[in-house]
Structure 1
């Protein structure tokens, strides 16, 4: 009776390879989940300001200020928002950035016109900067972990915040 012990010599390597494959599969699952979460957060942060603009335009319409310039600007903001494609194609992302600049400028004119109509010196005026601060407070900031050769040698790394 002969016994083959050759398989025992590579047993450690076999367990190492099995563990390595399991680790890779687990890492892929976690990366997919983290990528989805990151994408949802970025999308939320990018589009929340549009929802707030549209909401404030609805509120201003309900007050019926009878100001043709204000009504025209509100209509322009709504048209620009409704014309945006809400997907992640390269050309739509570039288009979104261009339209966002136009929207911010047009919305600034709405806020200026609103301040002229209200004329209440007791209250602090609503500026676009305050409007953006509210948006950032609601949406939060993305915390991105950055790893390089130097940071892997250190015992601790620091998160870097990126504002989208």
Structure 2
């Protein structure tokens, strides 16, 4: 014969099991949604950085002396198709010569680094798969591209390698050192108490 109080004694275990099962089901659903959201955000940030670095590589490639010579010779043969923009010093558009970035110095190592940077981040070769091998390959290529960009910036004297921008960033970081100070409204001293 079954004990009448047997169900009551196992009530705590029964509720624990029901709560665990419901929490596991809700957590699996919420985790999948949150994981997808975090994955999309992280993927976007990584590809945004890759696109930014690839854009730098394209601009630097176009500033190489060998590229500028070939573009001017091609530009002379297709002069009608090139749109000219008046320079800011000209008035009424009389001096309408196309603006160009200054060429980089002729340096074989610099040219090699720029070409390798573009090759590392070539759009067709970057995988968008979400398996471990593809993610590790993308991360290592992005890290390699970032180190190439630093070398190129130092070689040409541009970008984050200059000391002025580093000092500005350091001063800005020191300005908002405490999280409590960020949202604080400064007190006005020109208002006289009691007047509206």
Greater helix percent: which structure? 1
Structure 2 length-normalised TM? 0.43
Name the structure, 1 or 2, with higher relative contact order (CA <8 Å, separation 6+): 1
